[in-house]
Amino acid sequence: MAQDDNGVCPAQKAPETPYSILVLNGPNLAHTGLRCPDIYGRRALSDIPALVETLLGERSAQVRLLFFQSNCEGELINRLEAARNEGIHGVALNAGAYTHTGLALADCVQWIGIPVVEVHISNVFARKETIRRHSFLAPYSVGVIAGFGLMGYALAVQALYARLSGSD
Ligand code: DQA
């Protein structure tokens, strides 16, 4: 699925796209594919729509993907608040290191009223820094996906689709 300048897949702008899902990425994730490829792999975030299509098949036509990345915690909170106003149905959130430090971001996920799936490209539980095993977000997320590379985002979208469509 190609994307336009706003990060929306044109094929998904049709009225039959009932589910809007925001793929929200935090600090240091813009350069996924270049950053520490031994840990995070060589795929870029721009590969995510194709991975979603692979997993969802024809159902991907019912999902409108939106993308946002910021290195700043406040901007992630601003985007989540905007998502609430826009009626976004679900969020696949990789908050990067804010996962482990971001109480303000967690406070937002707690109240925002949008189902959030926490995503990590790496298996944070197998990393040597023990702080990566702690998540401020997990208590307020519907689930956590870690260790499946970029496919983790597609798995999160699939899980949100199942939940939103009642097929879970
Ligand atoms: C990460 C894991 C975090 O611990 C780290 O700070 C990141 C990426 C992941 O996707 O594996 O930036 O969220």
Nearest to 145 by CA among 112, 167, 123: 123
Residues with Cβ within 6 A of ligand 1? 28, 94, 96-97, 99, 120-122, 124, 132
Task: Read off the pLDDT band of 10 (50, 70, 90).
Answer: very low
Q: What percent of the chain has pLDDT over 90?
A: 89
Helices then strands, each counted (H, E), the chain = 6, 5
Task: Read off the pLDDT band of 17 (50, 70, 90).
Answer: confident
The sign one gets for the Cα dihedral 11, 15, 17, 22 is positive
For residue 120, give the 3-state DSSP assignment: strand
Domains in the chain: ranges and CATH: 10-165 (3.40.50.9100)
The mean pLDDT value for 53-66 works out to 96
pLDDT score for 66: 98
Could you read off the pLDDT of 122-152 as tens digits, one per residue? 999 999 999 999 999 999 999 999 999 999 9
Residue 16 has pLDDT above 90, yes or no: no
The sign one gets for the Cα dihedral 136, 103, 151, 61 is positive
**Best residue for ligand 1 mutational test, from 132, 135, 141, 153 (most atoms within 8 Å of Cβ):** 132
Could you read off the pLDDT of 28-54 as tens digits, one per residue? 999 999 999 999 999 999 999 999 999
96 CA → ligand 1 middle, Å: 4
The mean pLDDT value for 80-92 works out to 98
CA angle at 43 for the pair 40 and 45, rounded to the nearest 5°: 95
119 CA → ligand 1 middle, Å: 9
pLDDT score for 13: 47
